[in-house]
Amino acid sequence: MKKLVLISACLITSLILNAQSLEEIVKNYTAANKLDQVAGKKSIKITAKMSMMGMEMPMEIWMKNPNKIKTVMNMSGQEIIQSYDGEKGYSVNPMTGSSQPAEMSPEEVKQLLRNNNFENMLDKYLKNGQLEVAGEDAVNGKPVIKVKATLEPGAVSMLYIDKATWMLVKQTMDVTQGGMPATVVTFPSDYMETSGIIMPMKTTTSVSGMEMVISFTKVEVDIPMDDSIFKLK
C-alpha cells in the first residue's frame, strides 16, 4: 500500500513539474519570438525563393490577421496557389491539368493554417493539452529542449527549441506520403527581426531523401492588403 501511495505521489509530482516546465518553455518561446507583438500586426507579405533538385522557384506568401493566408509558387511559368479566405480554402495547380480553383480538404486547410504567423501555435497546443516535454538533445552542437506536440491522432511533431535563444531550430513530423509513412525534418535558421516580427529567413526541409530550401528575400509588415487577394472563387 505504501509503495502504491509512493508511486502515485511520484506520478503526480512528475505531472506537475512537466506542466510547469511546459508553461515556462512556452512563455520563454513566446517572449523570445515576440509573438505577442505579432498578434497586433495587420498583415505580412513575404517574398521568397524555393530551391529544389537544382531548380529555383520564386514564391510569395500573403497573410492577413487573423487567419487569411495565400501562398503562390511559380514553377516553370505556372503558378501553384493555395489560399484560405477565412472561410474556405482553394488551390490552383496547373500541373494537375486544370487551372480552375479546387476546394481544399479540411486536412489541407489545417496544414496551410499551420503557417499562419498571427497565431501562437505552441501556446494553442499548450492550452489544448497537446504538448509534453520529451527531454533534451543537441542540434548543431547546441543544447535544445525537445517538446512533443500531438497535433491530432496519428500526427506527431517533435520541436527542438534552443535553450539559449528559445528559437525553434529543428522540427520533425511523421506524415503519410503516397500511402507510405515518412518523416519530414525541418531546420529553420538565420532568424531576423523586421518591424517587430522575428522570422527564420532560411528553412531547410528534407523528406524521403529529397531536400528543399526556402529563403526569404523580403518581409513586409502592415502593408495594405485587400481581402480579394485571398478569394480564388
Predicted local confidence at residue 174, as pLDDT: 85
Residues 106-159: pLDDT tens digits? 989 988 998 999 999 999 999 999 999 999 999 999 999 999 999 877 689 999
pTM confidence score? 0.86
- Domains by residue range for the chain, with CATH: 2-230 (2.50.20.10)
Q: 122: closest CA among 61, 168, 173, 170? A: 168
Tell me if 59 sits within 8 A of 51, measured CB to CB: no
Alpha carbon distance 91, 100 (integer Å): 8
User: Which cell is 2 given?
Assistant: 505504501
Residues 68-117: pLDDT tens digits? 999 999 998 899 999 999 999 999 999 888 889 999 999 899 889 989 99
The share of the chain scoring above pLDDT 90, in percent, equals 76
Three-state SS for 48?
strand
Q: 225: closest CA among 95, 83, 32? A: 83
